[in-house]
Structure 1
Amino acid sequence: MYFESFPALWQMGIHGPYVWSAFGIGLGLIAVNVIWALVHGRNVRRTLQRQLQRQAMQEKS
């Protein structure tokens, strides 16, 4: 193992704050993208379902 202990891994010399903040920001952005895709996909499905229902009702009348 490159680091002698977990605290040494956490601190990474003087580079720890930069490395871990970049890692956290990256994970945060990935989480935001996944959540946005799920919400946007649900909204698109609802809109399409409403449009299909309206079209079906117009065809019946």
Structure 2
Amino acid sequence: MYFETLAAALQMDGHGAFVWSAYLITLGVIAFILYAPKRREKRFLRQLEGQIRRSGGQVAGAIKEV
């Protein structure tokens, strides 16, 4: 193994703060990229539900009588 102890691995010869912060930022960005579309979809569905309720249960522009 390259590092003798866990503390040495965390310090990485003085570069540990940069390396580990880069990993944390990268993981944060990936988590946001995965979470954002789900949040956007929930917001869109809530807005759509509100529009349908306001229109009396009828979808605007697509009313067909059977």
Sequence identity of aligned pairs in percent? Answer: 35
Whether 1:41 aligns to 2:41 is: yes
Equivalences, count: 54
Which residue of structure 1 lines up, in the alignment, with residue 64 of structure 2?
A: 59
Map 1:1-61 to 2 at 5 A: 1-44=1-44, 46=45, 47=48, 54=59, 55=62, 58-60=63-65
Gaps of 5+ in 2: 53-57
Displacement after TM superposition at 1:39 (Å): 1.4
CA separation in 2, counterparts of 1:17 and 1:3? Answer: 16
> If you compute each CA radius of gyration, which structure gives the higher value, 1 or 2?
2
Gaps of 5+ in 1: none
One-letter identity of the residue aligned with 1:22: A
Runs of 4+ aligned residues of structure 1 deviating over 3 Å after TM superposition are 41-44
Secondary structure at the counterpart of residue 59 of structure 1: coil
CA separation in 2, counterparts of 1:60 and 1:11? Answer: 71
CA separation in 2, counterparts of 1:29 and 1:40? Answer: 16
